[in-house]
Structure 1
Amino acid sequence: MTGRKKSADHSYDLLVIGSGPAGESAAIAAAKAGKRVGVVENRALVGGGCAHKGTIPSKSLRHVVKQIIQFKANSLFREIGDSRRLTFPRVLQSAAKVIPKQVELHTNFYVRNRVTVHMGEASFHDKNTVNLAMLDGGIETIYADKIVIATGSRPYRPADVDFNHPRIYDSDTILEMQHTPRHIIIYGAGVIGCEYASIFSGLGMRVDLINNRERLLSFLDDEISDALSYHLRDSGVTVRHGEEYEAIEASDSSVTLFLQSGKRLKADAILWCNGRSGNTDQLNLAAIGLEADHRGNLKVNHEYRTQVENIYAVGDVIGWPSLASSSYGQGRAVSGGIFGDECRPVQDVPTGIYTLPEISSVGKTESELTQAKVPYEVGRALFKNTARGQISGEDVGMLKLLFHVDTLEILGVHCFGAEAAEIVHIGQAIMTQKGEGNNIHYFLNNIFNYPTMAEAYRVAALDGINRISRR
């Protein structure tokens, strides 16, 4: 035992810095392997950005807005004649009710698995020692054989934008907005920007969505991207492609966005959604010879190991795909690799985009298959033609299957519409099967409950097989 280890206030086999999805899964996997595990969280409550600023509050907000839209669209409720206008703070209040439940749930995970949680800001002293500035003002020293950095990310803030102004927000501070804009500008049309464009238009706000590329979410299948663009515009969102910002000016009553194209857009507020930065600036990485890139992200190998042999990194802090789902998998994988099992890197992560309607996909797109010269065919099921879609009023969207013409292997699953993020997992499960198990005939030879949204797989498979048989 080294002198440093003896003098430390706490000693662990594994120390995890961050208690979000990546950190939690790494810590609990190690604890279940019988290791002494500690976790550092710089908030007063566990859960990380996912529970407090990102996935959970924004998706809960979306759910409340979806309920409002359904209420307004239902003629039965319109007969009630309740014309009270819901303010954004009131909607936020309703959405935030889920956060304490999530904190309690995840706190219990640590307690049941005997993982010690330290509240404070961690910084490296050396590759085995972390100094902890506790929230109550005290200082502790923690020693660990292995350390996993899972500190997550935060919205990227360019230096020339004044985020202290009460009309300028990022995707964290928008969850604290205490007024209800009539008109809002969203700069950045990535996943977060598109999700908030749906939310705000659903609340009846006028929305300008500024995209610095030529199409929305270009990593999606073209048909799905086009459908998103159409439905955003149909809900009243003005989408402006190929634009770059020049400057932002804000007053007590409004905010003006100046674009390099010469356009000037004036609104009640602006939401900046143009990228994220890894939370590494407080870690004193120089003490261990590590350096983050210009966005604060760390480089790792296929085992999530950094350039320092006993230090690993997982989750948003290593960049793409920066999803809660992939972070959970990475955390579990890194602990497996550290403590003797094979490290299985997270691959083939399904997209889950919670716009209104939502989007989810896994596998190849039509463009990718075309470029690779793979002979494929398409099977589609429109939700408006399914009984469940008609019953529930969720008649917007479709399920799209891409499959090999010769082997009938499922190559891609793309879904746009109600419960897309749930529906996609049926196709994902079949795609991972070996041999004839991954075959479009699965959806023809097995019975689906009726009426269900999942029945769309049978309809899409029939559509695809019919396209082949007509040749």
Structure 2
Amino acid sequence: MSYDFDVIVVGAGPAGESAAINAAKHGSKVAIIENREHVGGGCTHKGTIPSKALRSAVKQLVRFNRHPLFHEGVDSSWFDFPKIMKNVQSVIREQVNMRERYYGRNRIKVFKATANFVDQHTVNLVSDNGDQQQLTSSDFVIACGSRPYRPESVDFNHPRVYDSDTILDMKFNPKKLIIFGAGVIGCEYASIFSGLGVKVELVNGRERLLEFLDDEISDALSYQLRDHGVMVRHREEFASLETFPDHVVLHLQSGKRIIADALLWCNGRSGNTDTLALENIALEADHRGQVKVNQRYQTEVENVYAVGDVIGWPSLASAAYNQGRSAAAAARGKESNHFVAEVATGIYTLPEISSVGSTERELTESKVPYEVGRAFFKDCARAQISGSNVGMLKLLFCPDSLALLGIHCFGAEATEIVHIGQAIMNQQGEGNTIEYFIKTTFNYPTMAEAYRIAALNGINRLD
């Protein structure tokens, strides 16, 4: 049977983009369907790009305030949040223009519409003006992303109530902000707003912040947030929310009542599968809107693949790019493809956090012997020069073979630094030992030389 396309990708975020381009570069006729006005997906328009651009502006402000040349610093209250976000739009435009060039160069047809399945080889497209058309394809890749979870008990239509998408459109400067949900997004925004001088109440439903992190790193994050004025409240559950024209009141199950200028809800995300009419192809999403895939990113329907946030963990743009390429390879019949099973954690708080491998708790519970090597940034010349002396690099390694077991970094450029250790840890056999960091000459002064300091610190513990 003849189809309009070899591959149709639903969603133009990182996962969809990489799937479409990979398929096109291997000779497939490809279409991509995006229901936003511009390509890039939630990552470009509501998530990673705008939030990290906002963070960059705040980071510069914080660094300026702490630089010894400027003893009085800058009163952050004069910073206008809407004005900062206007500047962020320039970064988004650059990203959109770049991605549109990708599609044009690879002759990928872009449709601006909402897609829903008619059968396993046909989708119906509905444009904003109501026009409809049907397209057929041999294979499909679902990469429609996710959106913030919105419980019915919270009125998100109120101008003082936001989620992680709508917070970027806030039109005023809050003096006090409640952030409900202390996951990665909640912690990132807590550090961003506290850096702008906003009083932040961070409500966490768990025992500690980001429990998947190494305990020492989690403790460091908690200390830094509190040091910047964030009130962190653990083991709390939502009860109700009262809204008023100029403030909100959050009621917790513990009986606490918190008053603030606005609420930012950061408690979970849902896959954007509700408009796809998956029932027409006998495919079912779970209660979080996510679909199940195998090691080839293939759903229960053999010619339909799924990648990115819509399949759940790790829900990271970095992983989505690899997932998209792998799904495109599987769709064209390649026998082996890469399944993303481990990624470096990247958390863009101030300062940032990154880790890969096992934590101390995991190694202890598994009864795996290990030793620790630390390098505190306050002892690194580059950190002293830049004024970024908060943080550390922590290496976990086997005391016998010296093989790296885990890398945990908290501080400036942590999300960059971790990849040096990740590259060594992924080497086979004798290539994965902390001796590499001792024998290798690092540029001085650099943040990377923290590896040499941490490795020597760890080796000295074995004497």
* TM-score normalised by L of structure 1: 0.96
Q: 173, 180, 185: which one pairs with 1:187?
A: 180
* Partner SS, residue 78 of structure 2: coil
- Correspondence list, 1:238-387, <5 A: 238-341=231-334, 342-387=336-381
| In 1, Cα distance between equivalents of 2:428 and 2:333 | 27
2:215 to 222, 226, 236: 222
**AA partner of residue 158 (structure 1):** P
Between the aligned partners of 1:83 and 1:38, the Cα distance in structure 2 is 46
In the TM superposition, residue 435 of structure 1 has moved relative to its aligned partner by 0.9
Match among 376, 395, 410 for residue 416 of structure 1? 410
Tell me the distance in 1 between the aligned counterparts of 2:42 and 2:118: 25
User: Is 143-152 or 296-305 further displaced after alignment?
Assistant: 296-305
Q: Which amino acid aligns with 1:373?
A: K
Code of the residue aligned with 1:267 in structure 2: it is A
In 1, distance between residues paired with 2:106 and 2:403? 42
Match of 1:440 among 428, 434, 454: 434
1:87-138 Cα distance to aligned partner (Å, 9 max, x none)? 2112212222200000011111111111111110000000000000123432
1:298 CA drift (Å): 0.6
Structure 1 regions of 5+ residues with no counterpart? 6-10
Contact 2:76 2:196 in 1 (8 A): no
Counterpart in the other structure of 1:200 = 193
Q: Distance in 2 between matches of 1:319 and 1:302?
A: 14
* Alpha-carbon displacement from aligned partner over 1:205-235 (angstroms, at most 9, x marks no partner): 1000000000000000000000000000000
**How many residues get paired?**
462
* Residues 94/78 of structure 1: CA separation in 2 closer, same or farther (3 Å cut): farther
Out of 40, 43, 61, which is 2:36 matched to? 43
Secondary structure of the equivalent of 2:236?
A: coil
Tell me by how many angstroms 1:83 deviates: 8.0
CA 1:369–1:200 in structure 2 vs 1: closer, same or farther (change >3 Å)?
same
Secondary structure of 2:219's aligned partner: helix
Please tell me the residue identity of whatever aligns with 1:416.
Answer: F
Shift in Å, 1:277: 0.3
- For the residues of structure 2 that align with 1:83 and 1:450, how far apart are their CA atoms? 34
Deviations 1:244-288 (A, max 9, x none): 010001101110000000000000000000000000011011111
Listed as ranges, the gaps of 5+ residues in structure 2 are none
Q: What residue identity is the alignment partner of 1:362? A: V
Pairing 1:34–2:27 present: yes
State the identity %: 63
- Which of residues 384, 388, 391 in structure 2 aligns to 1:390? 384
Q: Is the 8 A contact 2:65 2:72 kept in 1?
A: no
Partner in structure 2 of residue 73 of structure 1:
66
CA distance in 1, matches of 2:282, 2:300: 8
- SS in structure 2 of the partner of residue 97 of structure 1: helix
- Which whole-Å CA distance do the structure 2 matches of 1:462 and 1:18 have between them? 47
Question: Secondary structure of the residue that 1:196 maps to in structure 2?
Answer: helix
1:8 counterpart residue number: none
The alignment partner of 1:468 has SS state of coil
Q: Is the 8 A contact 1:64 1:94 kept in 2?
A: no
Deviation at 1:82, TM superposition (A): 8.0
Cα distance in 2 between the residues matched to 1:352 and 1:414: 11
Across the aligned residues of Structure 1 and Structure 2, the Cα RMSD in angstroms comes to 1.3
When normalised by structure 2's length, the TM-score is 0.98
